Homo-oligomer: A and B are copies of this chain.
Amino acid sequence: MNSLKQMDRGALSDALDHSGQRTTPQRETVFSVLLDERDHPTADEVYTRTKSRMPTISMATVYNCLETLVSCGLVKQVNIEREPTRYCPNLAPHAHFHCRDTGRVYDVPVPPDMMHELAEVLPGEYRADSVELVFRGHLAKGKTK
């Protein structure tokens, strides 16, 4: 038994069904790992966390599950500089803040009007279907949040 809430379980099987893929224990567990601690873990970190709930899972399967979750739209990949890809289940429009001191990545909500304004910097012939906004710097004080 993984720790998916009924709502999330429903979203998962809907999204998987919709993209013609199956709901499996491995996919449920990986998804629950992402939902439980929203700190943008790497595949390796997801592997460690998932293994503690499902000791037989393999790294390849974790990569497969993450790819599946991304392909069905439940999870976003977050690439920052040349670091390992991180995974984010936050579907709301948001930016990321990357702390140079700790390496941690935080979600930063972006108001919808800002998204609209952003789109307007694009010349007419450019048709964007996604926008990626990453801030880098550090947190004031010892705030770890």
Is the pair A126, B97 in contact by a Cβ cutoff of 8 Å?
A: yes
Chain B residues closer than 8 Å to A82, beta-carbon distance: 79, 85
Is the pair B125, A135 in contact by a Cβ cutoff of 8 Å?
A: no
Complex formed: what's the CA distance from A95 to B134 in Å?
11
Complex formed: what's the CA distance from A141 to B128 in Å?
14
Is the pair B128, A131 in contact by a Cβ cutoff of 8 Å?
A: no
Is the pair B126, A135 in contact by a Cβ cutoff of 8 Å?
A: yes
Complex formed: what's the CA distance from A106 to B128 in Å?
12
Chain B residues closer than 8 Å to A106, beta-carbon distance: 126
Residues of A whose CB lies within 8 Å of any CB of B are 77, 79-82, 85, 95, 97, 106, 108-111, 114, 117-118, 121-141, 143
Known: A108-B123, A126-B139. 14 other contacts (CB 8 A): A95-B121, A110-B121, A117-B117, A118-B118, A118-B133, A126-B135, A126-B137, A126-B140, A127-B140, A128-B136, A128-B137, A129-B137, A132-B136, A133-B133
